[in-house]
Structure 1
Amino acid sequence: MTATASTPTAPALAAGWCTLSLLHGRIEARVEGALAVHDLSVREYSLLDVLSRQHNGEGGHLQMKQVTEAVVLSQSATTRLVTRLEDRGLLSRYLCPTDRRGIYTDVTDAGLALLEEARPTYLAALGEALEEAGRDPKLRPLVDVVRALGTSA
């Protein structure tokens, strides 16, 4: 690939990726620490949140493959995560009634209650992390994009 005025060079792309990774790491560390009071990790919170947004009825539940994509983990890591939350009574798994090969995952009432209890903590920590990162001139443009994405959803 040849770099032009509008195409970033490989070192520029690598620097951009490092900056994005830095922002992600800072946010994740802040949120992870805050969620510890609820005995939840960021991944556990994210999984409960994704699954809580499902609707009832046909096509309303996520298969394990979809869960893996939604929480951005490998299939084996997702299975371990689901198993941990299932062992705590926060999730349940069941076979698809129309396709016995499909396994669905759903949040239990206890999982929904914990999610609602943890949501204000999560949102506060996220806001604090973005506020802090926004004071870093290198991270400010990315923080602005995250905030803009939040208002466009």
Structure 2
Amino acid sequence: MTATNPALTALAHGWCALSLLHDRIESHLERRLQAAYGLSVREYSLLDVLSRQHDGEGGHLQMKQVADAVVLSQSATTRLVSRLEDRGLLSRYLCPTDRRGIYTDVTDAGLELLEAARPVNEAALGEALARAARDPRLRPLVRAVEAVRAPVVTAA
């Protein structure tokens, strides 16, 4: 019989709890967004990230930056962009200063869908966190998530 390092065991349990929390939240969001708007969590996230772009310096994201923001590979992100473009929610165009670069913008229809879906996403996130907070294994992680999303107040 081998001895197990308690610190590593605690770390593994923490990782399992974090994974469980993520899975529960994501599946709840997925069900709600699909039922209400026919959007997956990844589609919603992509629309949300791209909607925050602007025309100023550094305002448009390259595909690698988009992929990093939605936590997908570049190829998976490109396929996702293509699906949303086929639905009329995104458009692509060549970067005016670098013909090798392709930018992606959210169309008016995409912005309308995103704005309609945003309250459902926020409510579903709140519901999932509240449900997870009732599980003693997940409660500390829920508190950490809530602390991160709380507005930062600075002293003047």
Within 1, Cα distance between the matches of 2:12 and 2:146? Answer: 23
What is the CA deviation profile of residues 62-115 of structure 1, one whole-angstrom value per residue up to 9, with x for unaligned ones?
111110110000111111111000100101111111111111111111100000
Q: Please tell me the residue identity of whatever aligns with 2:22.
A: H
Q: Please tell me the residue identity of whatever aligns with 1:112.
A: L
Q: How does 1:1-153 map to 2 (within 5 A)?
A: 9-36=7-34, 37-152=36-151
* Alignment RMSD (CA, Å): 1.5
Q: Please tell me the residue identity of whatever aligns with 1:64.
A: M
What SS does structure 2 have at the residue aligned with 1:17?
Answer: helix
Unpaired segments of 5 or more residues in structure 1? Answer: 1-7
What SS does structure 2 have at the residue aligned with 1:56?
Answer: coil
Within 2, Cα distance between the matches of 1:40 and 1:53? Answer: 18
Within 2, Cα distance between the matches of 1:76 and 1:105? Answer: 15
Displacement after TM superposition at 1:57 (Å): 2.8
Displacement after TM superposition at 1:10 (Å): 2.4
Identity rate, percent: 75
Q: Please tell me the residue identity of whatever aligns with 2:29.
A: V
Q: How many residues align?
A: 147
2:3 corresponds in structure 1 to: none
TM-score by length of 1: 0.91
Displacement after TM superposition at 1:150 (Å): 0.5
Displacement after TM superposition at 1:126 (Å): 0.4
Within 2, Cα distance between the matches of 1:12 and 1:139? Answer: 14
What is the CA deviation profile of residues 101-152 of structure 1, one whole-angstrom value per residue up to 9, with x for unaligned ones?
1111111111000000101110110000000000111100000010000014
